[in-house]
Copies of this chain bind each other. A is one copy, B any other.
Amino acid sequence: MKIIDEMHKERLDSILILNPINITYLCGFKPSSPSILMVKDETVLFTSKMDIEGAIINSKIPVEDFKSLDEIKNLLKGTIGIEGSMTLETFERLKKGSSFKTKITNIPERLRRVKSNDELKNIKKAIDIAENSMNKIELKESMSENELAAQIEYKMRINGSNKAAFDTIVASDTRSSLPHAEASNNPLKNPVVIDWGAVYNNYCSDTTRTIIETEKHEEIFEIVLEAQKKAIDVIKPGIKVSYVDKVARDVIEEYGYGDSFIHSTGHGVGLEVHESPSLSKRYETKLEKGMVITVEPGIYLKDEFGVRIEDMVQVKNKGRVLNKIKKKI
């Protein structure tokens, strides 16, 4: 396993994985109860009675009954890699009375950045489900934001998504200026920002479209679209994520809306809808072949309206947009 090589490179004697997402990544089984994956020269998944039947069927690595943390602590010595997402509560229990050292490692998150062919297939299928579901909905002005969100989520589920990848955003009229507005009972009124995603085999999709109407909407839409296009155009292996962010931000700043682009340009998508790398000015991570990222600039005009356009892009020799749904719906 790749993780064992990485473990040796970081001079760790073992890695303990508690984050269910990282466990899913490494063994193919998603635990529903507290479980621990121990990476040593061999790897084992310890899981509770609640999950053991499912784990035995689905895990790619050997499964044992999770009896107690103390039992696992006794198996460890030397320097143990632990996840930054481990809680302090768990960390205190892990350290109590133990002789090993601990060191935070992000090996699992780093490995997850580059997608395998199987992972990519799942992501593409999640995109298909999300787009086909949206395309089947007849938008009516009498609908509320909640009703549209409910229909999207229902159709995604019927089409094979085990759930929505995140709380579907349907934000219309002035609420479209709130980037993370939850759907409300307000009736649909343009512009409507719709940000939705499906989950297929635990892999997520994440897409945003904005329905526009007036000339002013169109003007802002075209700026956001230009920012998105230029950012996608610079994507290739070796480019820093901060540069992709800068390219999108520069376009929006040139038109005088810099202060209204209040989030980063994108993020990785896979088992989590937001994962590494973050396309932000704060990070110097270089793009690698096989990464899947969103590119989603937006302009939010307070008390007026907002526009965001988000597509998923696979990093190949250049950026390849995975979405098929048209930009104007």
Contacts and interface: CB of A to CB of B under 8 A. Distances in A.
A33 B146 CA distance: 22
A178 B151 CA distance: 29
A153 B157 contact: yes
B50 A179 contact: yes
Contacts of A137: none
Contacts of A33: 180
Contact of A158 (B51, B88, B150, B180): B150
Contacts of A183: 162
The interface centre, meaning the residue of A83, A157, A185 with most chain B CB atoms within 10 A of its CB, is A157
B157 A163 contact: no
Interface residues on A, range: 35 or more
A226 interface: no
Interface string A208-235: 0000000000000000000000000000
A138 interface: no
B158 A163 contact: no
Contact of A54 (B85, B162, B178): B178
Interface in A217-276: 262-263
A104 interface: yes
B50 A263 contact: yes
A325 to B, nearest CB: 21
A317 interface: no
A104 B180 CA distance: 31
A252 to B, nearest CB: 14
Contact of A154 (B86, B87, B89, B154): B154
Interface in A125-183: 146-147, 149-151, 153-154, 157-158, 160, 162-164, 167, 177-183
Contacts of A53: 177-178, 302
Contacts of A177: 53
A82 interface: yes
A60 interface: no
A118 interface: no
A151 B157 CA distance: 9
A49 interface: yes
A26 to B, nearest CB: 19
A32 B86 contact: no
A92 interface: yes
A58 to B, nearest CB: 12
Contact of A88 (B82, B153, B160): B82
B158 A146 contact: yes
Enumerate the 7 nearest inter-chain pairs by beta-carbon distance, A residue then B residue, closest first. A84-B89, A32-B180, A150-B157, A154-B154, A49-B262, A86-B88, A85-B87
